C-alpha cells in the first residue's frame, strides 16, 4: 500500500510540475542576448517574467550599479507565446545608440523585481581582432551537459565576443520544455555574450513529430530581419569587425509545405548579400553540410545550389553541423585567380546526441567523431588572418588551422 501511495504521489507531482512549466517566473528568467540590429551600437535582450510590463536598466560598466541615476531605463515589448505547455510571457528590448567597443552593465525586470546585474560589450567600429565560439548540435535529453560545455568554453576563452550555435539547438523545436531547459542551462553565458543561432531540422519538429515553421526559435531569439521576407528570423546576415557572417536555413524538406521556394529565395538572397560585403573575411553558417560524412544523407541539392555562389563570392569558410562530427575539408571548388577554394567545417556536437556511422571522406583534411565527449571551436579573425581551433570540452586540442590573406583586397591566400 505504501509503494502504491508513493507511486501515485510521484505521478501527481510530475504532472503538476509539467502543468506549471510554461508559467513565467515571478522573477526574470531565461535571459538571452542576440543582435537584431547593428552589433556596434545596439544590443537586444529577451527574457521571461510573469509581470504586467518589462524594462531594462543599463549604463556603461565604468559607472557603479548602485548609482542608478547614471543608468538609463528603456521599456520592453511584451509578447505572449502560445506553447504546448501553455502561454508564456516574454519581454524583448533593443538598446540603441550605444558606444562601440564599450562594456555595459544591465539588469531586467518590471521596475520592482529585477534580475542580478549582468554585462555585455558592444562591437568595435574600427577593424580589430575578434574571437568567437562555435558549437555544433546542442540537442539533448536534458541540457546539463550542454550548459557545462558552454560554460567551460567561455571560462577557457573569456575574450570571446559572441557565440554561434549551428542548429538543432533543441531536440523538439516546438516543445517549450526543451527550450526552457536550453535557455536555463545557458545562463551565465548567453546572458553575457550574444548568441548567433542557426535553424536546424529539429527546430521544425513538433512533439508528435510532425513539421512546422520554427516558431519557438523565431519568437524567442530576436535576429536581423534582412533575409528573404518569407524567411525572416531564419535567414540573415551580420558583420562584426572584419568578418561578414551569412546564415542560411537548410531545412528544405521539413519546411516545404510552408516555404516551397526556400532554396531559390536563399540563392538569390545569398548572391546579393555576399556581393554587398566589403569585409576581408566572408563566412557562411548552415546546419546541413554541403559535403557530408554520412553517405546515406548526401546533400547534393544544397551543394549544387550554393557551392557555385560560394565560389563566385570567394567565401572563405562554411561552418555546418547536423552529423555531430568534427570534419575539416581541404579547400574545395576553387576557381583560381588567387582563390584556392572554400573550407567546409562540420563543427561536432555540444549536447548529448551522437552518431556512430559518419565516416571520413576523401575531401577531409581532419576527421573526428566526438563519441566520448562534446567539443567546441574558437574562431579568431583579424584583417589578414583567420585561425580556428577545435577543442574537446575537457580541453584537449583536436585541430588547429589558419588562413592568411597576404593582400585581403585581392584575396591572395596562404593556408597553414
Looking at residue 68, its pLDDT comes to 54
Longest dimension (CA), the chain: 81
CA angle 251-369-202, nearest 5°? 25
| pLDDT value at residue 6 | 34
Q: What is the pLDDT of residue 416?
A: 59
What was the pLDDT predicted at 351? 98
Neighbours of 266 (CB within 10 A): 28
CA distances from 116 to 99, 260, 367, 411 (A): 23, 45, 42, 46
Predicted local distance difference test score (pLDDT) of residue 64:
61
pLDDT, position 406? 77
Element of type H or E holding 336: strand 332-336
Name the grid cell of 28.
Answer: 526574470
- pLDDT averaged per 10 residues, the chain (length 416): 37 41 77 98 98 96 66 97 96 97 97 97 89 98 97 98 98 98 98 98 96 98 98 97 97 96 98 97 98 84 96 97 98 83 98 96 97 98 96 98 77 56
Cα–Cα separations (whole angstroms), residue 78 to 36, 37, 47, 115, 236: 16, 19, 10, 17, 23
What's residue 167's pLDDT? 98
Distance CA 9, CA 152 (A): 38
- CATH 2.60.40.10 in the chain, residues? 29-121
Check residue 25 and give its pLDDT.
73
Check: CB of residue 125 under 8 Å from CB of residue 100.
yes
The Cα–Cα gap between 32 and 42 comes to 14
Architecture of domain 130-415: 4-Layer Sandwich (3.60)
Predicted local confidence at residue 332, as pLDDT: 96
Q: What is the CATH number of domain 29-121?
A: 2.60.40.10
- Residue ranges matching CATH 3.60.21.10 in the chain: 130-415
Amino acid at each position: 500500500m505504501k509503494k502504491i501511495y508513493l507511486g501515485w504521489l510521484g505521478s501527481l507531482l510530475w504532472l503538476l510540475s509539467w502543468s506549471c512549466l510554461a508559467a513565467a517566473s515571478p522573477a526574470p528568467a531565461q535571459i538571452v542576448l542576440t543582435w537584431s540590429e547593428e552589433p556596434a551600437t545596439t544590443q537586444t535582450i529577451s527574457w521571461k517574467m510573469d509581470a504586467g510590463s518589462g524594462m531594462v536598466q543599463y549604463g556603461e560598466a565604468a559607472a557603479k550599479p548602485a548609482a542608478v541615476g547614471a543608468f538609463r531605463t528603456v521599456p520592453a515589448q511584451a509578447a505572449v507565446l502560445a506553447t504546448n505547455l501553455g502561454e508564456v510571457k516574454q519581454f524583448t528590448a533593443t538598446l540603441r545608440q550605444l558606444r562601440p567597443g564599450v562594456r555595459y552593465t544591465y539588469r531586467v525586470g518590471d521596475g520592482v523585481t529585477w534580475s542580478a546585474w549582468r554585462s555585455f560589450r558592444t562591437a568595435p567600429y574600427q577593424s580589430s581582432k575578434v574571437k568567437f565560439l562555435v558549437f555544433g548540435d546542442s540537442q539533448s535529453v536534458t541540457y546539463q551537459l550542454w550548459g557545462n560545455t558552454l560554460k567551460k568554453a567561455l571560462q577557457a576563452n573569456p575574450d570571446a565576443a559572441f557565440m554561434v550555435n549551428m542548429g538543432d539547438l533543441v531536440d523538439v523545436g516546438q516543445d517549450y520544455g526543451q527550450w526552457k531547459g536550453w535557455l536555463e542551462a545557458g545562463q551565465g553565458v548567453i546572458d553575457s555574450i550574444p548568441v548567433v543561432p542557426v535553424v536546424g531540422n529539429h527546430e521544425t519538429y513538433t512533439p508528435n513529430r510532425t513539421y512546422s515553421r520554427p516558431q519557438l526559435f523565431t519568437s524567442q531569439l530576436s535576429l536581423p530581419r534582412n533575409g528573404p521576407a518569407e524567411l525572416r528570423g531564419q535567414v540573415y546576415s551580420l558583420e562584426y569587425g572584419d568578418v561578414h557572417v551569412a546564415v542560411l536555413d537548410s531545412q528544405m524538406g521539413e519546411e516545404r509545405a510552408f516555404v516551397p521556394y526556400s532554396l531559390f529565395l536563399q540563392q538569390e538572397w545569398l548572391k546579393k548579400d555576399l556581393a554587398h560585403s566589403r569585409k576581408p573575411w566572408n563566412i557562411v553558417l548552415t546546419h546541413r553540410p554541403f559535403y557530408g560524412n554520412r553517405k546515406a544523407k548526401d546533400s547534393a541539392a544544397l551543394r549544387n545550389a550554393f557551392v557555385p555562389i560560394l565560389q563566385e563570392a570567394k567565401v572563405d569558410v562554411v561552418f555546418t553541423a547536423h552529423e555531430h562530427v568534427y570534419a575539416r575539408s581541404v579547400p574545395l571548388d576553387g576557381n583560381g585567380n588567387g582563390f584556392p577554394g572554400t573550407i567546409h567545417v562540420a563543427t561536432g556536437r555540444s549536447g548529448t546526441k551522437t552518431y556512430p556511422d559518419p565516416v571520413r571522406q576523401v575531401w577531409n583534411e581532419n576527421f573526428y567523431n566526438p563519441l566520448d565527449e562534446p567539443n567546441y571551436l574558437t574562431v579568431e579573425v583579424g584583417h589578414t588572418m583567420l585561425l580556428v581551433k577545435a577543442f574537446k570540452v575537457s580541453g584537449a586540442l583536436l585541430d588547429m588551422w589558419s588562413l592568411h590573406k597576404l593582400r585581403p583586397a585581392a584575396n591572395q591566400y596562404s593556408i597553414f
